[in-house]
Amino acid sequence: MILNNGYLGVVVQLQRLLLLIMVSVALFSCNGTKQSEDNSTNKNELKESLFEANKRAIKTEEQQIHDFVLRHKWKVEQTGTGLLYNIYEKGKGEQAAKGKIAVIDYAVRFLNGIEIYSSDELGPKEFIIGRAGVESGLEEGILLLREGDRAKFIIPSHLAHGLVGDGNKIPPKSTLIYDVRLLKLK
């Protein structure tokens, strides 16, 4: 079969158009993959950078706590979460347990000694143990006590108010020191 020039011209133009479309698709898909790889690399670099910054912040806070303990010559024990505590006066009452209502006298300070909250100012604090009504470090510490016990807790920021603070007197990433007396359990 013999094709005329007009028909052959259209076929050649269609072939060129099809080739152009295929090349364009190939280029854009490669570029998209490259861009996706770049985004993935950027995200990984950002994650790594944030991870390293967080490690440095944790090390700094740990060093500040360590220095505080040495300076004040406190004998403290540490839990697996990082809570440091010293039960310096033993009571004879019931052991704290989840589901009980704890009533405490307390004073809360920063590592520099500035008092921010106290039961002298606000009255005794009551909360249900295990219901996340207070800092997780305070709750963990209370579970170590019996009625009548007095203790000091050094609560690292991740067990206190973390990266946000309390929106009032406690700024983000603050270590807290609680001086607590477990008055009673209900």
Q: The domain spanning residue 112 has which CATH number? A: 3.10.50.40
pLDDT band at 4 (very low <50, low <70, confident <90, very high): very low
Whether 4 and 41 share a structural domain: yes
Whether 11 and 30 share a structural domain: yes
Fill in the amino acid letter for 96.
Answer: A
Whether 59 and 82 share a structural domain: no
Whether 83 and 170 share a structural domain: yes
Q: Over 50: is that where the pLDDT of 2 sits? A: no
Q: What is the pTM of this model?
A: 0.76
* Final residue in a domain of this structure, among 73, 89, 122: 73
* Final residue in a domain of this structure, among 33, 58, 73: 73
Whether 101 and 25 share a structural domain: no
* Stretch among 26-30, 59-63, 122-126, 179-183 having the lowest mean pLDDT: 26-30
How many structural domains does the chain have?
2
* Stretch among 5-19, 119-133, 142-156 having the lowest mean pLDDT: 5-19
Whether 98 and 180 share a structural domain: yes
User: How far apart (Å, rounded) are the C-alpha atoms in residues 30 and 17?
Assistant: 20
Residue 8: per-residue pLDDT? 45
State both tokens at 36: 């996706």
Whether 115 and 29 share a structural domain: no
Fill in the amino acid letter for 170.
Answer: I
Whether 4 and 53 share a structural domain: yes
State the Cα torsion 26-32-36-37 to the nearest 10°: 40
CA 168 to chain centre: 19
Q: 168 Cβ partners below 8 Å, 6+ apart?
A: none
More confident residue, 6 or 99: 99
pLDDT band at 144 (very low <50, low <70, confident <90, very high): very high
Whether 2 and 15 share a structural domain: yes
- Give the tens place of pLDDT for each residue, 15-63: 665 556 665 665 555 555 555 566 777 888 888 888 898 889 999 999 9
Residue 53: per-residue pLDDT? 87
Whether 145 and 88 share a structural domain: yes
Most confident of 6-15, 27-36, 133-142: 133-142
* Final residue in a domain of this structure, among 73, 96, 111: 73
User: How far apart (Å, rounded) are the C-alpha atoms in residues 64 and 82?
Assistant: 13
- Tally: H helices and E strands in the chain: 3, 7
More confident residue, 37 or 161: 161
Whether 16 and 69 share a structural domain: yes
Over range 105-131, report the average pLDDT. Answer: 97
79-105: buried (b, 16+ CB within 10 Å) or exposed (e) per residue? eeebbbbebeeebeeeebeeebebbbb
Q: Over 60: is that where the pLDDT of 6 sits? A: no
Half-sphere exposure of 151 (CA within 13 A, CB side): 28
Structural domain including 144 reads: 76-185
Over range 162-175, report the average pLDDT. Answer: 95
